[in-house]
Amino acid sequence: MYRSWWLLGAIHLLVSVVTAMLPQSPIQCDGTGGCNLFNSYGVWNDRKNCHVPNVTYPRTENELLRAVAYANQNKLKLRVVSQFSHTIPKLACPATSTGNSLLISTSSYDSGIEIDAANLAVTVDGGVGLRKLIDTVEAAGLSLVAAPYWEGVSIGGLISTGSHGSSWWGKGGSVHDHIVGLSLIVPAKQSEGYAKILRLEPKDQLFNAAKVSMGLLGVISKVKLLLEKGFKRSVSYDFTDDDQIENKYMDHGKKYEFADITWYPSKHTAAYRYDNRVPLNISGDGVYDFLGFQANPILVSKSVRASEKVMDNGHNLSGKCILASSFLGYKKLVANGLKNGLIFTGYPVIGNQGKMQTSGSCLYSTGKDSSCAWDPRINGLFFYETTAIFPAPKFRDFILDVKKLRDLVKPENFCGVDIYNGFLIRFIKASEAYLGQPEESVVVDFNYYRADDASTPRFDQDVWEEVEQLAFFKHGAKPHWAKNRNMAFLNVQSKYSKFTKFVGVKRQLDPQNMFSSEWSDEIVFGKEGAKSDGCGLEGMCICSEDRHCSPGKGYFCKPGVVYEEARVCRYSPSSNVESDSPKTDL
Ligand SMILES: Cc1cc2nc3c(=O)[nH]c(=O)nc-3n(C[C@H](O)[C@H](O)[C@H](O)COP(=O)(O)OP(=O)(O)OC[C@H]3O[C@@H](n4cnc5c(N)ncnc54)[C@H](O)[C@@H]3O)c2cc1C
């Protein structure tokens, strides 16, 4: 069973010592006027380009201020994007049909990092990358406690979308809950020079609106974050069966400061991460170089994608399951990318907080033979990413429903998610941010195959659509602002009790809606657009008629198996078949 993986592993070792390819800029200009903005996967949810007539690259806070003033004076729509643009929904796109818009890139606004060691704080420019910030504070003997697991993000971008790692301890896993100051550049009256800087602190009324604000209130120029004295972490994984996971996750989250769980439903396996801080004088120079974020030989990424495509088109579930088993076996062998030094030699792996909290080594290799596995230039991995956030106790019912669905449709139907990273379960604390989580929460992420074009249905798509609808509608989960297909945002505003307060602040700071676009409205206001043929295939709508699926290719709009109110696009060999029966492997 593992033979194919060992082959891939061997190729990986051989080729990964050659050369690699840095991620491309999300802004691509063709020299004939204007540019296109992409996310890091190279394709937006609606697969339509985001054309921007003008892009500016300020280097200082003063230049940022001038850019906002210019846009305000000239009545331009304005959005901000970071160096790599890792947000999946089209939030950063300023495009309008009239072309009156400006994009600010913070890629050159990335130098200011001022450490205040006496007060355990750091003030950082909005465009600074997470890795640069972490390395700087660690060099000063300090640590940032919370960070998303992926380091290729900017501070302004990650704060804006509520990005998080995992922790129910202290101030918790969301980075915005560690902020004690934030500077926001907002539009102003002509007499004030068309733009002004607000220096916000926790005592200010606007602070809780500004923390998680998707760039809708203004440009974040500086962020002040709390730090702690430097520390290390000691991490082990326990790959075990998923029995009772629904009764274990709460205790696990409480017991370990940086706990998480990866659940592989098709394999009935859960990997519990035991992760606590230890003092700096404990020996260990480990790193967490998460496997999924390591540079992959382009050849490997292409061949995994090609196999997945052939299997999906051929309805070959057993092939997907072999791939999932191989990947899971390899992850166990290499401890998901934990390394005691150069390689993994045994648990626990102990290392500095800065080396354990986040990773992304595929960002730094140079050359052309390897890259991040999803690099849009290589025809490598291409997938959807669903991330749902539950009030902690409610997550139990979701797990039970997913288990029920798995057992009714067949566990093999869940192999598609286990080819990626299963269900990653993380913990975040209650937040004061208006668009943050109002209570202790559990976040679940899962990735799954996306077809090359919008009109190609996916064999197991009904399963993922039902899981999505279970999460967002039956169990009332909130979507992570930076991930998800558009359907996850339907009626999102009704899930936040302080949404109206946020809108009030938005009206106050940006009365002309300069920082809003039809794309950001679609996400933040959860508006459902007109339902077109095939819109259910890519999560642009929930199907209500067969034409929203792909009846010509045998996919019809059907009720869910466990959640009857769900409506999903399901494969039925003939339109006459009552096709609610579990799928079979061909
Ligand atoms: C591989 C991968 C792994 C990820 N892992 C995690 C994870 O572990 N945890 C998690 O929570 N998330 C995760 N994410 C999501 C990621 O953290 C968010 O998408 C984050 O917002 C990306 O930051 P960015 O700097 O790329 O921002 P962008 O994508 O460039 O922008 C995000 C939003 O913020 C706005 N914005 C950006 N900069 C500013 C600014 N200076 N002022 C005002 N508005 C601004 C933009 O307009 C946009 O609306 C992951 C994403 C990827 C692709």
Cα-Cα-Cα-Cα dihedral sign, residues 144, 150, 154, 157: negative
Distances (CA, A) of 493 to 174, 396, 536: 20, 24, 22
Amino acid at 489: F
Reply yes or no on whether the pLDDT at 71 is more than 90.
Answer: yes
Specify the residue with its C-alpha closest to ligand 1, atom 12.
Answer: 163
Closest CA to 376 of 36, 33, 5: 36
Distance 505 CA to ligand 1 centre (A): 22
Helix, coil or strand: residue 191: helix
What CA–CA distance (Å, rounded) separates 200 from 396? Answer: 38
Helix, coil or strand: residue 545: coil
Check pocket membership of 89 for ligand 1, CB cut-off 6 A. Answer: no
φ, ψ for residue 391, nearest 5 deg: -55, 135
Check pocket membership of 387 for ligand 1, CB cut-off 6 A. Answer: no
For the residues 494-512, what does the mean pLDDT come to? 97
Distances (CA, A) of 3 to 194, 299, 331: 64, 18, 15
- Residue 585 is encoded by which pair of tokens? 């492997």
Reply yes or no on whether the pLDDT at 426 is more than 90.
Answer: yes
Specify the pLDDT at position 460: 93
Q: Which helix (H) or strand (E) holds 116?
A: strand 113-116
Check pocket membership of 81 for ligand 1, CB cut-off 6 A. Answer: yes
pLDDT 10s digits, 212-250: 999 999 999 999 999 999 999 999 999 999 999 999 999
Specify the pLDDT at position 527: 78
Specify the residue with its C-alpha closest to ligand 1, atom 10.
Answer: 163
Distance 9 CA to ligand 1 centre (A): 31
Amino acid at 559: P
DSSP per residue, 288-327: E--GGGS-EEHHHHHHHHHHHHHHHHTT-HHHHHHHHHHH
Q: Which helix (H) or strand (E) holds 220?
A: strand 219-226
Specify the pLDDT at position 19: 58
What CA–CA distance (Å, rounded) separates 154 from 133? Answer: 9
> 232-449 sits in which CATH class?
alpha beta
pLDDT 10s digits, 447-474: 999 999 999 999 999 999 999 999 999 9
For the residues 514-522, what does the mean pLDDT come to? 92
Specify the residue with its C-alpha closest to ligand 1, atom 11.
Answer: 163
Q: Probe ligand 1: pick from 154, 186, 389, 444, max atoms within 8 Å of CB?
A: 154
Check: pTM over 0.75? Answer yes or no: yes
Q: Probe ligand 1: pick from 55, 88, 109, 160, max atoms within 8 Å of CB?
A: 160
Specify the residue with its C-alpha closest to ligand 1, atom 21.
Answer: 158
φ, ψ for residue 314, nearest 5 deg: -90, 5
Atom of ligand 1 nearest to the CA of 293: 1
Domains of the chain, by residue range, sit at: 232-449
What CA–CA distance (Å, rounded) separates 568 from 530? Answer: 18
Reply yes or no on whether the pLDDT at 15 is more than 80.
Answer: no
Specify the pLDDT at position 378: 92
Check pocket membership of 482 for ligand 1, CB cut-off 6 A. Answer: yes
Cα-Cα-Cα-Cα dihedral sign, residues 45, 49, 51, 55: positive
According to DSSP, residue 19 is labeled -
Specify the pLDDT at position 583: 53
Check pocket membership of 214 for ligand 1, CB cut-off 6 A. Answer: yes
pLDDT 10s digits, 314-361: 999 999 999 999 999 999 999 999 999 999 999 999 999 999 999 999
Asked if 390 and 444 touch (Cβ cutoff 8 Å), the reply is yes
- Residue 552 is encoded by which pair of tokens? 């010509």
- Residue 142 is encoded by which pair of tokens? 């300090």
Specify the pLDDT at position 564: 97
Check pocket membership of 146 for ligand 1, CB cut-off 6 A. Answer: no
Helix, coil or strand: residue 401: helix
Q: Sorting pLDDT into bands at 50, 70 and 90, what band is 32?
A: confident
- 348: cis peptide before it, omega within 30°? yes
Reply yes or no on whether the pLDDT at 13 is more than 80.
Answer: no
Q: Sorting pLDDT into bands at 50, 70 and 90, what band is 16?
A: very low
What CA–CA distance (Å, rounded) separates 538 from 487? Answer: 9
Specify the pLDDT at position 581: 44
Distance 155 CA to ligand 1 centre (A): 8
Distance 161 CA to ligand 1 centre (A): 6
For the residues 488-497, what does the mean pLDDT come to? 96
Q: pLDDT exceeding 70 applies to what percent of the chain?
A: 94
Check pocket membership of 216 for ligand 1, CB cut-off 6 A. Answer: no
Residue with the two structure tokens 């139990």: 396
Specify the pLDDT at position 367: 57
Asked if 277 and 257 touch (Cβ cutoff 8 Å), the reply is yes
φ, ψ for residue 304, nearest 5 deg: -65, -45
pLDDT 10s digits, 345-402: 999 999 999 999 999 999 987 656 899 999 999 999 999 999 999 999 999 999 999 9
Beta-bridge partners for 425? 261, 444
What CA–CA distance (Å, rounded) separates 172 from 178? Answer: 8
Distance 158 CA to ligand 1 centre (A): 4
Asked if 184 and 515 touch (Cβ cutoff 8 Å), the reply is no
Q: What is the mean pLDDT of the chain?
A: 93
Buried b / exposed e across 131-150, counting CB within 10 Å, b at 16+? bbbbebbbeeebbbbbbbbb
Distance 150 CA to ligand 1 centre (A): 10
What CA–CA distance (Å, rounded) separates 401 from 339? Answer: 36
Q: pLDDT exceeding 90 applies to what percent of the chain?
A: 89
pLDDT 10s digits, 88-126: 999 999 977 777 999 999 999 999 999 999 999 999 999
Check pocket membership of 78 for ligand 1, CB cut-off 6 A. Answer: no
Atom of ligand 1 nearest to the CA of 109: 41
Distances (CA, A) of 443 to 112, 253, 290, 432: 32, 11, 19, 18
N-terminal to C-terminal alpha carbon distance within the chain? 20
Distance 154 CA to ligand 1 centre (A): 7
Positions of E strands within 227-309: 228-229, 232-241, 260-264, 269-278, 287-288, 296-297
Specify the pLDDT at position 547: 97
For the residues 19-28, what does the mean pLDDT come to? 83
Which residues lie closer than 8 Å to 528 by C-beta, 6 or more apart? 490, 541
Distance 524 CA to ligand 1 centre (A): 15
Helix, coil or strand: residue 535: coil
Atom of ligand 1 nearest to the CA of 164: 11
- Residue 205 is encoded by which pair of tokens? 């009324």
- Taking phi first (over 0 means left), then psi (-120 to 50 degrees means alpha), and beta for anything else, what does residue 362 get? alpha
Closest CA to 299 of 1, 6, 2, 9: 9
